[in-house]
Amino acid sequence: AQKVTQAQTEISVVEKEDVTLDCVYETRDTTYYLFWYKQPPSGELVFLIRRNSFDEQNEISGRYSWNFQKSTSSFNFTITASQVVDSAVYFCALTLSHGSSNTGKLIFGQGTTLQVKP
């Protein structure tokens, strides 16, 4: 079975601080995708990134960066110089990507609520 764990329930930082959101996943499959989504108060899940299990290269997009380490089954997300607008719930998710499991069904973690104070 697949599982995603986000151990941090809530994080509070002051604007301009860097913050890292942790994500640990479990799967026996070798081919899968990992995702991060942002859920602002409006409720809509906003896609941030997708990472293939064969691509461990870290990625940076503006103030966002992602560290994928298969050895520790982790896919952590760092926001540099956080801003108040970053306040939201962030979800890490996993989907399998081969054969009959290739449905695109997402398995989500419980989410981390990030509060960025001015």
Partner 1 sequence: DTGVSQDPRHKITKRGQNVTFRCDPISEHNRLYWYRQTLGQGPEFLTYFQNEAQLEKSRLLSDRFSAERPKGSFSTLEIQRTEQGDSAMYLCASSTPTGHPNTEAFFGQGTRLTVV
Q: Which residues bind partner 1 (CB under 8 A)?
A: 4, 6, 33, 35, 37, 42-47, 50, 91, 93, 95, 97, 102-111
Q: What is the DSSP string of the chain?
A: --EEE---SEEEEETT--EEE--EEE-S-S-EEEEEEEE-TT---EEEEEEETT----EEETTEEEEEEGGGTEEEEEESS--GGG-EEEEEEEEE-SGGGTT---EE---EEEEEE-
Question: Nearer to partner 1 by C-beta: 5 or 15?
Answer: 5
Question: Nearer to partner 1 by C-beta: 15 or 49?
Answer: 49
Question: Nearer to partner 1 by C-beta: 28 or 44?
Answer: 44
CB of 104 to partner 1, least distance (A): 5
